[in-house]
Amino acid sequence: MLDSQSDNKLVSIVRYEKPMESVRKAVELAKGLENLSSNAKVFIKPNIVFWTKAVPFPKWGVITTSRVVEDMVVLLKEQGIDDIMIGEGTVTFNPNDKETIANAFETLGYNILRKRYGVKCINVFERPFKKVDLGEGVALNFNADMLRSDFVVNIPVLKTHAQTVVSLGIKNLKGTLDIKSRKKCHSADQEKDLNYMIAKIPKILPPCFTILDGIYTNERGPGFDGKIRRQARV
- According to the model, what pLDDT value does residue 186 have? 84
DSSP string covering 56-119, please? ----BTTB--HHHHHHHHHHHHHTT---EEEEE--B-SSTT--HHHHHHHHHTTHHHHHHHH--
What is the reported pLDDT for 202? Answer: 86
Distance CA(167)–CA(152), nearest Å, equals 18
Does residue 231 belong to any structural domain of this protein?
no
CB 178 within 8 A of CB 120: no
pLDDT, position 89: 92
Does residue 188 belong to any structural domain of this protein?
Answer: yes
Number of Cβ atoms within 10 Å of the Cβ of 72: 24
The answer as to whether 33 is a domain residue is: no
In a domain, 102, yes or no: yes
**What pLDDT sits at residue 203?**
84
Position 24 in a domain: yes
Structure pTM?
A: 0.89
Residue 232 lies in a domain: no
Residue 233 in any domain: the answer is no
Q: Is residue 234 part of a domain?
A: no
CA angle 16, 30, 7 (to 5 degrees): 150
Tens-of-pLDDT digits for all 234 residues of the chain?
444 444 567 889 999 999 999 999 999 999 999 989 999 999 999 999 888 887 766 677 888 999 999 999 999 999 999 999 999 999 887 878 889 999 999 999 999 999 999 999 999 999 999 999 999 889 999 999 999 999 999 999 887 767 666 667 888 999 999 999 999 988 888 888 888 888 888 888 999 999 999 888 777 656 667 777 787 543
Contacts of 199 (CB under 8 A, 6+ apart): 170
Please give the pLDDT value at position 2.
44
CATH number at residue 67: 3.40.50.11440
Domain with 134 in it? 2-7+17-28+38-226
The domain total for the chain is 1
